[in-house]
Amino acid sequence: MIVWVNGAFGSGKTTLVDELRPRWPEVLVYDPEMVGYVLREIVEVPTGDFQDLRLWRRQVADLAVGLVEEYRRPVLVPMTLVNHGYVGEVFGALTDAGIDVHHFFLKVSREVLEKRIDGRSFTPDNPEQDEKVRRWCKERIAPCMAAADTLPSDTVFLDGELTPQELADQVLARVRAGGTSGV
């Protein structure tokens, strides 16, 4: 089983996964950004967004499938994925492999997202780069919010302004209600 935690930058994906991890000790946490970072070291990313690389999407799905098949443990994936075609590619590959995918999307107001992004430090030793990353994240708020209407019909929308504990309770209850073992 894969539990994909989706939402805009600053919506609380990583915070939610950090809350879930100790409450679900057998879960593996897989961050597809790492695949993007590796690819950036090897090939040029013309658009600047590694999700635009077909290889990134394929590798993300393949590694997720491999983790489930090899380790027979649930996998938590905190990753913004809102391009309708890319969601279809990645989730399609997961379901084609026979893996149950539980997709959660954290909905958060623009104001809260901007405040959270402003409060983060991405590259503490490089303030100029830090500001560049903040701008990039903020530029993606509108597309992330608009994409909520195009996500798969079984997506569970959560109020990302709840506490991490409340959100973790909701995720675990939904996953358990799905009749899945290992939770």
pLDDT in tens, 113-152: 999 999 888 888 898 988 888 998 999 999 999 998 899 9
Domain count, the chain: 1
Residue 71's domain comprises: 2-168
- What is the CATH classification number for the domain harbouring 45? 3.40.50.300
24 is a domain residue: yes
Tokens of 113: 């997202």
Residue 181 lies in a domain: no
Answering whether pTM is above 0.85, one says yes
Residue 175 lies inside a defined structural domain of this protein: no
Residue 179 domain-assigned?
Answer: no
DSSP one-letter string for 20-39: HHHHSTT-EE--THHHHHHH
Each residue of 10-19: pLDDT tens digit? 999 999 999 9
